[in-house]
Amino acid sequence: MEQQRLGGSDLVVSRVGLGCNNFGRRLDLERSRAVIEAAIAAGITFLDTADIYGTGESERFIGETLAGRSDDAVVATKFGNDMHGLNGDAPGGSREYARRAVDASLERLRREHIDLLYYHRPDGITPLEETLGAMHELVVEGKVRWLGLSNVGIDALETAARLAAAGSSPVVAVQNHYSLVNREDDALVARAEELGIGYIPYFPLASGLLTGKYRRGQAHPEGARLTGDDRLSDERIGRMEQLERFAESRGHTILELAIGGLASIPGVASVIAGATSPEQVRANAAAGAWHLDPSELDELEAV
């Protein structure tokens, strides 16, 4: 698995990362442990979680699995979403909330510091300057190494860059919803690259659409995430079919295009892909081996 530096940090992360949102929800400790171990064996060294995943269980499962093995993976976590009062009732972006949340995450993760801390989602109340100021304090205190933002627009990146120029800790990663059928962030990806901020997409498989499991005119898999979903329109199925033809004409699967193609877009630092089994982890890791050259990326843009 190719490893690359994340934004302007000294963090080195795998081209494909492991999304840990299933831990503590769809997967118990032992199944989560199997997925983590399979990821590390496949060369995935970037684990992405959040305090809200499983209401702390995802962080706890990672902490138990990697206890005493902090060098095995770069671990990113997030704060700011509702934790059902576990971090108090202050706004999620406030200094008070951020400090409580990080202390709780460190305890669950069994780590002395968090490699990459994201503000999960703006709370709509707290000025971003206050939130980033609190996160900067945590870096100074050694509880956090590097900072990230999630579910934000270009304005937030500009604010972060302005604060960094004034001496605050820089934001080195932005994580948003992005896939080959959800390209609304194209301009943000380009601006993040200009600012030296690594772009990290989540939901690269478009909730399973880009795995090939959904077919026009065929019954959709029972229990699959998009079965019966309004988002599974004929138009989206058609876009998937176009992408699948593009991949197959080059000897690849649509899964390999969904991950490898996304990872080939300039500015994308790592693609976060979730998994519920070791087999899925290995498939996601293998998909990251496809590097599209500039001419193929131009053809993909046309598609």
- Cα separation, 229 vs 219, in Å, equals 13
Residue 260 phi, psi dihedral angles, 5° rounding = -65, -40
CATH of the domain at 134: 3.20.20.100
* Cα–Cα nearest to 176, from 157, 195, 196: 157
Give yes or no for residue 152 having a pLDDT over 70.
Answer: yes
pLDDT in tens, 46-79: 999 999 999 999 999 999 999 999 889 999 999 9
Q: Which domain range does residue 293 map to?
A: 3-208+255-302
Q: Give the count of domains, the chain.
A: 1
Q: What is the mean pLDDT of residues 102-127?
A: 97
Active-site residue 53, yes or no? yes
* Cα–Cα nearest to 150, from 181, 168, 167, 171: 171
Answer yes or no: is 8 within a domain: yes
* Cα–Cα nearest to 210, from 175, 181, 249, 233: 181
Span of 28-32, 189-193, 218-222, 298-302 with lowest mean pLDDT: 218-222
Share the mean pLDDT of the chain.
93
CA 36 to chain centre: 15
Give yes or no for residue 246 having a pLDDT over 90.
Answer: yes
Answer yes or no: is 156 within a domain: yes
Percent pLDDT > 70 in the chain is: 93
Give yes or no for residue 200 having a pLDDT over 80.
Answer: yes
| Type of residue at 30 | E
Q: Under DSSP, is residue 280 helix (H, G, I), strand (E, B) or coil?
A: helix
Answer yes or no: is 139 within a domain: yes
Active-site residue, selected from the candidate residues 53, 97, 178, 214: 53
Answer yes or no: is 243 within a domain: no
pLDDT of residue 170: 98
pTM: predicted TM-score of the whole model, two decimal places: 0.93
Q: What is the mean pLDDT of residues 117-122?
A: 98
Give yes or no for residue 107 having a pLDDT over 80.
Answer: yes
Answer yes or no: is 93 within a domain: yes
Using 50, 70 and 90 to split pLDDT, how confident is the model at 214? low
Using 50, 70 and 90 to split pLDDT, how confident is the model at 229? low
Answer yes or no: is 225 within a domain: no
pLDDT of residue 221: 58
